[in-house]
Structure 1
Amino acid sequence: MKKFQLYVLDDDEEYAQRLAAYIRASEFGERMQVKLFSKSELILEVLDAQQAVGVLLVSETYYRLFLDRRTNLHKMILSETITNSLDAETKVPFLYRFQSLHHLLTRLQAFYAEKLNEERSSHGTNKTSVISVYSSSGNSGKTMTAIHLAKQLSFRGERVFYLSLESVSSTSLWLMGETGRFSQLIYYLKSSPELLGPKLQLLKSVDLQLRIDYLSPNDQIREMQEISGEQIRILIDTLISLNEYEYIIIDLEASVHPRIVKGLEVSDHIIWLVRDDLNDVYKTKVLYKQLGAMHNVHFVVNKYTGVQTNDFSELGRDIAFNLPYIPEWKSIRSPEQMWASSLFSEQAYEMAAALCIIKGNAALRAEGAAAS
């Protein structure tokens, strides 16, 4: 999300200066640019001179002057007496002046994100596609597949969010961004889910080279075990509501923990990896049956050597794609080694195209590549 403009008109200049200083020195400075006004005529000149976009925060002394004023700015009232609520007559929200600046700005940012989401929805913005990568046993290549798919989509101009729901994730080895933020997000997910949207903007990690936003647990094993399925639904719904991503790639672990099952339930597509191994095929058959009817499952054989040795017919669904075995990955010694295989990376994208997982511009680009 780009920075939005925050126009503040307040008769308490000292408070306004303190608010602006806090924004510029805190993480909120990454999301908003503040401009202060102490006289209404000055801000009216600005509003008349340009098509401003953002939030207009006015104190109770001035806000009646702006109720009927046409502007693209979303209005909020800075109040000394009324806590966070709506004006019954105008439906303009109040912000209580004497709460902590962190809480005030978090609520302001949540308000703006909600308004932005409403505007995008009214213009028919395409729904974010949620793609999960799952398997019935470990060492199947879920993380490799999920990350390479995210990379390929990102490099083709798609906006991608990678979400690991593993108890212990190796993502920090492959993606270069600030880690250790998941525990803070879990706190808000449990205590203040209504503030999750703006907190996601502040606490997500970003790999600048791959252009992927992501969340990955670092050492939150107990916290991940305590997350409920409903909390995962809230997290993914919030990510979708940001309207920033064409794709959310969920890296699941081989378990039936409620957070994993909910991740499967909310997915538009499930890439279920299977190895050409009797034990893995049996576990896949049993687990697929136990999880119930899921019509969005695509069984994909990973580490395919070119020769099939097991019978997959008992799965009840055809194998949708084969991902190649990469001998260099038998023993990983460095992150560079993991990114070295262009073959697997390209095949991950070809898989998504073959399964009709990619859409819109990405699908057109895939058709063009196939035609050439």
Structure 2
Amino acid sequence: MMKYQLGVAVSDTEYLRRLADYIRDSKYSEQWQIVAFTHSEACKRYVKQGYKLDMLIAQPVLLAEIKPMLPKLTVIALVLAFGESTEEHELQQYQPLPRLLQRMSEIHARSKVLPGQAPTLEDRAAGTRVLAVCSASGGTGKTGLALHIAHAASLHRFRTFYLNLERWNSSESWLGTNRGEDFQKQEARKEEGLSELLYCLKTQSGQAGKWLLEHRKRDALLGADYLALCTNLEDRLTLNEEDTAWLLDAISASGQYDLIIVDMDSDLDGTHISVFEKSNLVLWVSNSSASARQKQNMVLRYGEQKWDERFTRMLGKFTYVDNQAISNQTVGIREMAEGDPASFQMPEIADWRGASDVKLLSSPLYRAAADQLFKQLFLEGEGMIAER
């Protein structure tokens, strides 16, 4: 079932939390994802940032301020008594929540079947954000950061897909029920994954969404979905710009995800360019070593030389992260000193230094920092309560 984005604008924070808790624990969680706002400006910023709402329910005074930005959206006035607003649809705010949700869903069901209102693949894809995580060199902790951000997203109720596009993808070592299984055993299982989805896209593109829903895997610890390794490693080595764009479009158009996190190679080629163009944000991961910084500068110069304006237009999406930079026990991300290219610092975890087998999510300090980074990237906005 496709989930719809429900905007709720009410000044009473406790009411918003009770409504969000009820939806989360009821059958309505299969249909609705709630994004709650305590004032109209937060809702306006949310819409201006490109996020999509399928319906808005709000107190009349807030609705009057928000509605001009959403002229085609189905709206419901949440009133104390009928007749308080001039809206076509009114619901009483203080009534049993099951009845409120039932009436709200009925209004939505009627409105979405009007001519021209059925959601297209483009509409569904527009609601999905894409975050690329990349690096100019190996050993910067790029994959660890990507997985921690996926975990943070799931904690904030973002339906998340983790897509590893590294040439030599070893992510199954810590993902899924076979965490810790060696690569030879993983390869022997030959589970259908990225290779088969790419084949489906090229031969039966209309069935790609259905294939994805049937073959995606779930990691309970991360709270995110992902695909099994390529059964044919050549498929990843020959992946091109067009294939990459098709792949991201297929995952987005499934309507199942709020966020796709793409874990990229330590390189820069056509696949990267395609991902960057599809991405809303790009995290470029480095560390404080002179070698890593030098490689980062060289790769960025190469991008500008090879793709010229096409590449420079993407640089506005880039956020630079200095991983393993904070050696003390201060939780969080600090802005770097003036003149430093990095925007954020992540903590160095002493127990991970030199370890050959790092247990996923084993550091509360790093988890907290990744959560703060996620919130700054996706949930910033005074007055906005993101209940997913």
Q: TM class by shorter-chain length?
A: 0.5 to 0.7
* Code of the aligned partner of 2:234: R
TM-score under structure 1 length normalisation: 0.59
Matched position secondary structure for 2:229:
coil
Contact map agreement 2:140 2:286 (CA 8 A) in 1: yes
Which residue number corresponds to residue 347 of structure 1? 369
Aligned to 2:138: 138
Match of 2:347 among 309, 315, 324: 324
Percent pairwise identity: 24
When residues 209 and 325 of structure 1 are mapped into structure 2, their CA distance, relative to the original with a 3 A threshold, is closer
The CA deviation at 1:126 is 6.5
- Matches of 1:140 and 1:261 in 2, distance apart? 21
Per-residue CA deviations over 1:165-217 (Å, capped at 9, x if unaligned) read 01122221222158552221121123232321111112211123432111253
Contact 1:353 1:363 in 2 (8 A): no
Closer, same or farther in 2 for the Cα pair 1:241/1:119, shift >3 Å?
A: closer
TM-superposed deviation, 1:236: 0.6
8 Å CA contact retained: 1:168, 1:217: no
Structure whose CA Rg is larger: 1
Deviations along 1:307-332, one digit per CA (max 9) or x if unpaired, are: 9xxxx999x87421001111211244
Does the C-alpha gap of structure 1 residues 255 and 313 become closer, same or farther in structure 2, counting only changes over 3 Å?
A: farther
After superposition, where does 1:101-112 map in structure 2 within 5 Å?
A: none
Q: Is 1:190 matched up with 2:202?
A: yes
- The correspondence of residues 284-363 of structure 1 with structure 2, limited to 5 A, is 284-292=296-304, 293=312, 294-306=315-327, 318-332=341-355, 334=357, 337-354=359-376, 356-358=377-379
Contact 2:195 2:235 in 1 (8 A): yes
Other-structure match for 2:268: 256
SS at match of 1:319: coil
Report the 3-state secondary structure (helix = DSSP H, G, I; strand = E; otherwise coil) of the residue aligned with 1:338: coil
TM-score by length of 2: 0.57
User: Which structure carries more relative contact order (alpha carbon 8 Å, separation 6+)?
Assistant: 2
Which consecutive unaligned segments of at least 5 residues does structure 2 have?
A: 4-109, 179-190, 305-311, 329-335
- Please give the per-residue CA displacement for 1:277-305, whole angstroms capped at 9, x wherever unaligned: 11111111121122231111011100114
**What pairs up with 1:1-372 in 2 under 5 angstroms?**
1=1, 117-118=119-120, 121=123, 127-176=127-176, 179-218=191-230, 220-292=232-304, 293=312, 294-306=315-327, 318-332=341-355, 334=357, 337-354=359-376, 356-358=377-379, 364=385
Change (3 A) 1:248 1:126: same
**RMSD, aligned α-carbons:** 3.8
SS in 2 for 1:254: coil
Runs of 5+ unmatched residues, structure 1: 4-70, 75-114, 367-372
Query: 1:301 is matched by which residue type in structure 2?
Result: D
| Cα offset, 1:140, TM superposition | 0.9
Structure 2 residue matching 1:198: 3-state secondary structure: helix
Give the deviation of 1:144 after TM superposition.
0.4
Change (3 A) 1:259 1:217: farther
Q: Equivalent residue of 2:120, what SS? A: helix
1:117/1:199 CA distance change after superposition, 3 Å: farther
Distance 1:169 1:117, change over 3 A: farther
Deviation at 1:362, TM superposition (A): 11
